[in-house]
Structure 1
Amino acid sequence: MLRNKEIRRLTLVFAAITAGALGAGFALTPLAGLLILIFAIALGVAFGCFTHTRYRRLAELADQIDGVLHYDDPLVLTEMEEGELSILKCEIAKMTQRIHEQNDALQKEKSHLAESLADIAHQLRTPLTSATLILSLLKQDPEAPRRRALLRESEALFAQMDFLITSLLKLSRLEAGIVPFQNQPTDLSDLIHTALQPLRIPMELHDITLKLHIPQGAQLQGDAAWLSEALENLLKNGITSAGDHGTLTIIGEDTPLFTRITIHDSGPGFKPEEIPHLFDRFYQGEAASATGYGIGLALCYSIITRQGGRIIAKNHPRGGALFILHFPKPAPLSDESLTGVSPGCQSTPL
């Protein structure tokens, strides 16, 4: 205890006061001096016991903190009566709990990163192996028609790898939160037509009927370029699901509180066990196409949620897959925020 500077100072002050009181007491009568001495000894013993108990509890708390730091032991909350030490112990317990939660989250992120790297390696290995095989065949100098076919196949494989790497880079940037979104009013009709433009020819080839119901003048708040990419991925998914001679329906809804986009295809829909995993990276359902990588829906989810929107996937009651995109409208500025004067105040002209 005496290693503490404050305790040493308090002990010296107490000794000085006791000595002065004893001198004055014995100067008056020996009995007064004896009473002062007994009182000083009792007070010193009580202070010593109290301080010793306090230091013992601090030592126990320090041992528990050391166990948390070095041996991952839980911090046991005992003797929670009122007092500064109990408040300190409670705050430390909350801090250690927060550290444990963050450590668990980091472990999950680490595991997720390892799984993602394994998935990336697996996805890239297939086209790379095929491209290597094609190059070895080309070295054998096949005939011109066969050589042209091999070159076309290798170009397709490299295009797949380029798409995979580009999509992964976009998804990584989005998940890292380093994409600067442009938060601007965007016309809903223009956004949907921009997303549909690259898909017109595939829809014609597969004889897919498009039904559009977009209210005139509907708008949403966000980055038009990224949102059109998310919609394009969702529409690609709908075209694949609908198949030949299918139907793709896009419905927009505009209210003062939100803007909603509904995409419904006439395909078989989702299996119930698939729905919770649809937006997971690299997830491919049983009905996934051979050229799919399981990145498109994960990219859509990240783009939409990073801009304050929500996306829900489910089966339509009449059959087919249904995607619902929900974008809240920004709160309108009040007269008070525009003028800087509260409604109850009046400005006086100068």
Structure 2
Amino acid sequence: MDWIIGIGMMALGIAVVVLLWRNYCLRKEAAQFAGKVEQALDAIVTGKEWKRQGELTDSLWDRIETQLAKAEHVFQRKQEESLREKETVKGLISDISHQTRTPLANMKLYVELLEEETLSGEGTGFLAKLCEQTEKMDFLMQSMVKMSRLETGILQIRQEKQDLSETIRRAVADVVPAAAAKEIDLFVDCPDGMMVPHDGKWTQEAVSNILDNAVKYTESGGQIHLSVERQEIFWQIAIADTGKGIAVERQAQIFTRFYREPEVHDKPGVGIGLYLARRIIELQKGYIEVRSETGKGACFRLYLPV
């Protein structure tokens, strides 16, 4: 009886060893398989040269390798199409900018000459409208050129450690005249000497665009508060106003190109400012969020990595 139990225990031991060995082999094969997939995907994503190894068989890896090769081909083709489209857009914007620069300069000159002339009341009104439309066209062209250069990589974001408070001051200075004209109070809470890695010029552009919108959509006598705070991972630039607010269902759309809310078409603007602001912050590995309710103002928060 004892020998039967001994044989049974030995068989059980052998079975356990075999199972453990098979489990080890399966885990090793799975790790090798995952490594191959990871290498192939890394080569596809980074654009490195990736060649299939050995002859085609009916194994699981060879079937997956075939699909990865197809995915690589599609990915490369999409990349090439994207580059061609960017080059086309870059050329188109460059041509438009070049072709409109001289006419716009001439229009501004003619407006200045007309302002020196004695005009009727109606003529003065028409001249004011002509001046407004000329400035709007000039602003549109400049914004489109900036947008094109950022998207096509002509202009690179250069993040250098510099004083964020100086960048904020320049951005605020851009909107002070417009805020003063509407008697809007500007409050700024920004400590000095905040050395933050960022592109001063483009970050100023982003903050100015947010502030410009705040001034534009805040009624006379309103308030705008700007504050800067260091958090654990990000620096937060918060811009809150007492303006008309933004409906929740539209808050995702306001950052798209040329989007303008239906009720503000009588206000100056072309719908590029917020798109540019978001793009500039994203290129610095940050992000923008907005919190608002209709009739209760809006608060934009810009986050730059610490």
Bucket of the pairwise TM-score, normalised by the shorter protein = 0.5 to 0.7
Contact 1:264 1:316 in 2 (8 A): no
Q: Which residue pairs with 2:277 in the alignment?
A: 300
Match of 1:273 among 245, 249, 272: 249
Match of 2:167 among 178, 191, 195: 191
TM-score for both structures, normalised by structure 1: 0.56
Q: Aligned equivalents of 1:159 and 1:83: distance in 2?
A: 64
Q: Aligned equivalents of 1:106 and 1:326: distance in 2?
A: 29
Match of 2:119 among 132, 144, 148: 144
Contact 1:234 1:297 in 2 (8 A): yes
Where structure 1 has 5 or more consecutive residues not aligned to the other structure, the ranges are 1-78, 330-350
1:214–1:84: structure 2 CA closer, same or farther, 3 Å change rule? closer
Q: Aligned equivalents of 1:148 and 1:287: distance in 2?
A: 28
Q: Aligned equivalents of 1:209 and 1:255: distance in 2?
A: 27
1:212 to partner: Cα distance = 2.0
Q: Aligned equivalents of 2:83 and 2:242: distance in 1?
A: 41
Q: Which residue pairs with 1:323 in the alignment?
A: 300
1:266 to partner: Cα distance = 0.8
Q: Aligned equivalents of 1:236 and 1:292: distance in 2?
A: 10
1:323–1:297: structure 2 CA closer, same or farther, 3 Å change rule? same
Q: Aligned equivalents of 2:235 and 2:222: distance in 1?
A: 27
Could you list the per-position Cα deviations for residues 158-178 of structure 1 after superposition, in whole angstroms to 9, with x for gaps in the alignment?
Answer: 222111101110011011112
> Whose RCO is larger (CA < 8 A, sep 6+)?
2
Could you list the per-position Cα deviations for residues 77-135 of structure 1 after superposition, in whole angstroms to 9, with x for gaps in the alignment?
Answer: xx98417854653333333553676599789x79xx7xx99xx9xxx9xxx9xx9xx99
User: In the TM superposition, what are the counterparts of 1:201-240 in structure 2 within 5 Å?
Assistant: 201-240=177-216
Could you list the per-position Cα deviations for residues 188-240 of structure 1 after superposition, in whole angstroms to 9, with x for gaps in the alignment?
Answer: 32222211113222222212122222234323211111111211111011112
1:150–1:220: structure 2 CA closer, same or farther, 3 Å change rule? same
Q: Aligned equivalents of 1:290 and 1:298: distance in 2?
A: 18
1:251 is paired with a residue whose SS is strand
Q: Aligned equivalents of 1:252 and 1:170: distance in 2?
A: 26
TM-score for both structures, normalised by structure 2: 0.63
Q: Aligned equivalents of 2:129 and 2:241: distance in 1?
A: 31
Could you list the per-position Cα deviations for residues 275-297 of structure 1 after superposition, in whole angstroms to 9, with x for gaps in the alignment?
Answer: 11111110001232432210111
Match of 1:170 among 127, 137, 146: 146
Match of 2:237 among 256, 261, 265: 261
Q: Aligned equivalents of 2:280 and 2:61: distance in 1?
A: 48
1:250 is paired with a residue whose SS is strand
Q: Aligned equivalents of 1:148 and 1:319: distance in 2?
A: 38
User: In the TM superposition, what are the counterparts of 1:115-154 in structure 2 within 5 Å?
Assistant: 144-145=119-120, 146-154=122-130
Q: Which residue pairs with 2:59 in the alignment?
A: 82
1:313 to partner: Cα distance = 1.8
The residue type paired with residue 323 of structure 1 is F
Q: Aligned equivalents of 1:239 and 1:266: distance in 2?
A: 10
Q: Aligned equivalents of 2:64 and 2:178: distance in 1?
A: 67
Q: Note the aligned Cα RMSD (angstroms).
A: 3.7
Where structure 2 has 5 or more consecutive residues not aligned to the other structure, the ranges are 1-55
1:186–1:90: structure 2 CA closer, same or farther, 3 Å change rule? same
Q: Which residue pairs with 2:133 in the alignment?
A: 157
2:304 is paired with a residue whose SS is strand
Q: Aligned equivalents of 1:84 and 1:275: distance in 2?
A: 46
Contact 2:150 2:156 in 1 (8 A): no
1:246 to partner: Cα distance = 0.7
The residue type paired with residue 305 of structure 2 is P
Contact 2:244 2:294 in 1 (8 A): no
More off after superposition, 95-104 vs 193-202: 95-104
Name the % identity. Answer: 29
Could you list the per-position Cα deviations for residues 217-272 of structure 1 after superposition, in whole angstroms to 9, with x for gaps in the alignment?
Answer: 32321111111121111101111222111111111102463211011111131112
Larger Rg, first or second structure (1 or 2): 1
Q: Aligned equivalents of 1:191 and 1:318: distance in 2?
A: 30
Q: Aligned equivalents of 2:301 and 2:164: distance in 1?
A: 15
